[in-house]
Structure 1
Amino acid sequence: MNGEFEVIGGDFNATLENSKKKGGLQTITRLELDFQAFIDGNNQRDIPTKNGKLTWTNRRKDFTSIAQKHDYFFVFGNWNNELFMYEAEILPYIGSDHFLVLLRIKLEDPKGGSPFKFEDMWLRDPSLKELVHKWWMETRIGNQSKLYLFSKKLAHVKRRLKENKEQFKNIFVETDRISRELEALNKVIIENGMGVAEYELEKRLN
């Protein structure tokens, strides 16, 4: 970042302290001691995850369940600079034994709106084709070129698609509900590991 600081991150397959272990051997290995020495010796800062501390689990549901923090972001250099803000967040489970960890580095306030993106999920709604045809026909302009009319029709359809919360609500309601339940469950797992109840609920939600 323009010589201000550097970031390294990923799956280090090691845990820095026992407080970031649930289940299994509650000891620090020689490899992990070397890992800690490397971090301290290079004046690196571990960016903590804001919504939990366990990023890996063997996804077992009984006494053999193990959960640890294996995934880190480290920043070194001029990381006290007030121009920079850091935030790490553990993302919802997507099928791996690791949770993804997202690092946000905020340099300045974002400018402009988000770009328009067509969602493939919209195609599952049987009313989409009829609605797009209806919106396409809503735009009528007098003596203008066909290319100008075409661009205006596209802009109108895009605007109506962005208002999809009402038109396509039936698609998203169930997905949103399940996503919220899974996110709440993830918070439990990344903080406390996985028990029998958590294992069964995660399986059902996925």
Structure 2
Amino acid sequence: MKILYWNCCGVGNPATVREFRQLLVANVPDIVFLCETKINSNRFQRIRSICRMEGCLAVDSVGKSGGFALLWRDGIDVSVQNYSNSHINSLVRLENEDVLRFTGFYGQTASRSRQQAWDILRRVHHKVNEGWIVGGDFNAILNLSEKEGGRSKPKVLMEEFCNILEELKLTDIKPCNGWFTWTNNREGDRLVKERLDRFVASDVILDKFPFLASYVVRQSRSDHEAILIDTKGSKPNRERMGHKAWFRYDTCWAGEQELKDLISCIWEKEESNMLAKMDMTRDKLGPWQFSRFRNLKYKIKGLEKEIIRLMDGRTDD
């Protein structure tokens, strides 16, 4: 089960919709929670259709702020329980008939509204009889390591957030990559970075899904990064062992003369039938791809680490 959360800071323009689609294609989430959509719920049906998500519940924005949406793909059994201007609460039935609760949450910044938002989570907690995952923009940090630049957060607010998680028996799921999820995108001494977006989970979830992992997914159009939680995230994938498993056609192969020669040699053999030629093609292309492109993933990981170092490192010239 994969759940994606993104504070999209407005999803009404075509460029953001395109980025949202790319986000879905790259990560293939089962459930998506969006906040700050800044559009009317009626307009969201078109976005749901464009992004090919089967189910959708959208909450209207208030003027040019707010707005939520919970989407899920075909085959996922989601039952929305309740929602407000701070949350969407749902039950998700898994393939093994187990049920988990997912609550998409948006923490308010004003003192009174923030307390009301915490109270909503308390009311949800009273009804929880299953594993519980909460994900969203909490607009709060747990300690000073989750903020760089700008004025220090008041200690009382950090303690309040810690106490809320302890009261609700929820554990912060630290990401496997990256750290800060929001930036004000300013330069020099005015740059501020904070970890505002996160997933938290109950002990039942942590016990049931020992390979649970969370990831920061870099974005370009929003000042918030997306975050992803995967219940099988760190589980070893034994199915992709061996050269044959590497056979995944890529359009960049079309310009490879070596590949063309390899395929031509196989299909020019008159003594082999079509099925045999297809088997030989697969058997040859797996090792060829492995030897030709195995270094690319290491280069990509190296570049991703450099991006993380720049985004999450100390701010300097």
- TM bin, normalised by shorter chain, reads 0.5 to 0.7
Q: Is the 8 A contact 1:58 1:66 kept in 2?
A: yes
Rg (Cα) greater in structure: 1
Per-residue deviation, 1:121: 2.4
In the other structure, the counterpart of 2:17 is: none
SS in 2 for 1:63: helix
Task: Spell out the pairing of 1:151-162 with structure 2 (5 A cutoff).
Answer: 151-162=275-286
1:57 aligned to 2:183?
yes
Give how far 1:49 is off.
2.0
Separation of aligned partners in 1, 2:235 and 2:304: 28
Normalization by structure 1: what TM-score? 0.66
Q: Equivalent residue for 2:194?
A: 68
RMSD over aligned CA atoms reads 3.7
Pairs within 5 Å for 1:92-107: 93=218, 95-96=220-221, 97-106=223-232
**d(CA) in 2 for partners of 1:5, 1:194:** 39
1:150 pairs with 252, 258, 274, which one? 274
1:19 Cα offset (Å) = 2.0
Offset of residue 94 of structure 1: 5.0
Instruction: Calculate the TM-score normalised by the size of structure 2.
Output: 0.46
Q: Which amino acid aligns with 2:168?
A: N
Contact 1:66 1:193 in 2 (8 A): no
**1:120 pairs with one of 238, 251, 254:** 251
CA deviations 1:60-114 (Å, max 9, x no partner) are 44112211112211112514527623232335x4535444434332497655347
Write the distance in 1 (CA, Å) between the matches of 2:229 and 2:160: 25
Aligned-partner residue type, residue 135 of structure 1: I
Q: Could you tell me how far 1:31 is from its partner in structure 2? A: 8.2
Distance 1:83 1:27, change over 3 A: closer
Q: Which runs of 5+ in 1 are unaligned?
A: 142-148, 197-206
Q: Which is bigger in relative contact order (C-alpha 8 A, separation at least 6)?
A: 1
- Tell me, in whole angstroms, the C-alpha distance in 2 between the residues paired with 1:139 and 1:30: 79
Aligned: 1:165 with 2:290: yes
In the alignment, does 2:145 pair up with 1:19? yes
Relative to structure 1, the CA distance from residue 108 to residue 25 in structure 2 (aligned partners, 3 Å threshold; closer, same or farther) is closer
Question: Residue 303 of structure 2 is aligned with which of 182, 190, 201?
Answer: 182
Q: Does 1:133 align with 2:264?
A: yes
Contact (CA 8 Å) 2:206, 2:212: kept in 1 or not? Answer: no
Question: Is the aligned partner of 1:6 residue 2:6?
Answer: no
1:46 deviates by: 0.8
User: What's 1:202 paired with?
Assistant: none
Instruction: Give the number of aligned pairs.
Output: 184
More strand by share: 2
CA distance in 2, matches of 1:84, 1:180: 25
8 Å contact from structure 1 (residues 55, 67) kept in 2: yes
Which residue does the alignment assign to 1:146? none
Distance change in 2, residues 1:49/1:75 (3 Å): same
Deviations 1:124-162 (A, max 9, x none): 434433332223335843xxxxxxx32222222122222
Percent identical? 21
Structure 2 CA distance, aligned partners of 1:180 and 1:25? 34
Does the CA contact (< 8 Å) of 2:170 and 2:202 recur in 1?
yes
